[in-house]
């Protein structure tokens, strides 16, 4: 496996990052203008049957008020996808999305283009950071298959709460699945499923559903593409080293 991580700059706005950031901004604007296509975006890359089946972690939020399931076919076996998923998070491998947009928001996220051995063994209870002061608990970790993060926040106090004890008056409860599904000897599918519950106020519906959806779609789509590119590259390099040719 590849090793090392050189992306330690506080800011990294390379020409490529800037171009990708502009692409992301255009996609976000296009999504706002095509609100009527949201049902299709919510299952991007998947058929209805693939998108609406039961997956690991669904029990955390059984009836979400807002949800999406995105998927992408990867021309590499699942074992080449997992290392990139295992290291996801701030101060780890990043999220393989629009780095420039993330850092314009001050998140300090940098995407690794190599496999980081020190982050290859996530375990239940780990905190996966999304920003300097924003992290989610790794609620489920099935090595080689799935990671599910969970966040429950009392929005009035900005402190976590225990969903098993009931929800506070103004709350946010989130689960996010990253799932790898083998398809055949040389192919797999990566699935990203986000499920969200919140206090049913107009402000929350506007913020977490209508306003957030275009931004979340653009970033998550890019993450799926970023994982695909990295996993397929790793697989090609491995096959090249072994002297095998893969159709």
Domain membership of residue 170 as a residue range:
15-242
> Residues 174-218: pLDDT tens digits?
999 999 999 999 999 999 999 999 999 999 999 998 999 999 999
Q: What is the CATH number of the domain that holds 148?
A: 3.30.530.20
Return the structure tokens found at 99. Answer: 């780095």
Alpha-carbon distance values, 49 to 43, 46, 52, 193 (Å): 10, 8, 6, 14
Return the structure tokens found at 152. Answer: 């429950």
> Residues 94-139: pLDDT tens digits?
999 999 999 888 898 999 999 999 999 999 999 999 988 889 999 9
User: Residue 1 falls within a domain, yes or no?
Assistant: no
User: Residue 40 falls within a domain, yes or no?
Assistant: yes
Q: Is the pLDDT of residue 3 over 90?
A: no
User: Residue 7 falls within a domain, yes or no?
Assistant: no
- Which of 157, 83, 235 is CA-nearest to residue 244? 235
Q: Is the pLDDT of residue 241 over 80?
A: no
Contact 83, 115 (CB under 8 A): yes
Q: What is the DSSP string of 139-191?
A: EEEETTTEEEEEEEEETTTTEE--GGG---SSEEEEEEEEEEEE-SSS-EEEE
* pLDDT category of residue 35 using cuts at 50, 70 and 90: very high
User: Residue 209 falls within a domain, yes or no?
Assistant: yes
> Residues 39-64: pLDDT tens digits?
999 999 999 999 999 999 999 999 99
Return the structure tokens found at 233. Answer: 């590259």
> Residues 194-204: pLDDT tens digits?
999 999 999 99
User: Residue 161 falls within a domain, yes or no?
Assistant: yes
Provide the whole-model pTM.
Answer: 0.91
* pLDDT category of residue 10 using cuts at 50, 70 and 90: low
User: Residue 8 falls within a domain, yes or no?
Assistant: no
User: Residue 106 falls within a domain, yes or no?
Assistant: yes
Domains held by the chain: number: 1
User: Residue 6 falls within a domain, yes or no?
Assistant: no
């Amino acid at each position: 496996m590849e090793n090392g991580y050189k992306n330690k700059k506080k800011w990294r706005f390379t020409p490529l990052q800037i171009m990708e950031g502009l692409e992301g901004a255009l996609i976000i604007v296009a999504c706002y203008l095509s609100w009527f296509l949201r049902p299709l975006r919510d299952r991007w890359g998947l058929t209805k049957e693939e998108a609406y089946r039961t997956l690991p972690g669904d029990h955390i939020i059984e009836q979400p008020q807002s949800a999406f399931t995105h998927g992408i076919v990867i021309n590499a076996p699942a074992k080449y996808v997992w290392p990139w998923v295992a290291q996801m998070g701030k101060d780890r491998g990043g999220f393989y999305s629009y780095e420039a947009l993330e850092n314009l928001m001050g998140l300090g996220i940098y995407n690794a283009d190599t496999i980081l051995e020190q982050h290859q063994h996530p375990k239940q209870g780990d905190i996966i950071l999304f920003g300097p002061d924003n992290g989610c608990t790794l609620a489920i970790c099935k090595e080689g298959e799935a990671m599910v993060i969970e966040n429950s926040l009392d929005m009035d106090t900005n402190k976590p709460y225990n969903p098993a004890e009931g929800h506070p008056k103004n709350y946010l409860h989130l689960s996010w699945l990253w799932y790898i599904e083998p398809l055949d000897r040389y192919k797999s599918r990566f699935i990203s499923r986000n499920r969200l519950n919140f206090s049913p106020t107009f402000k929350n519906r506007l913020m977490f559903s209508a306003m957030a959806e275009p931004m979340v779609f653009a970033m998550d789509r890019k993450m799926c593409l970023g994982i695909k590119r990295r996993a397929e590259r790793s697989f090609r390099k491995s096959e090249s080293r072994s002297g095998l040719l893969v159709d």
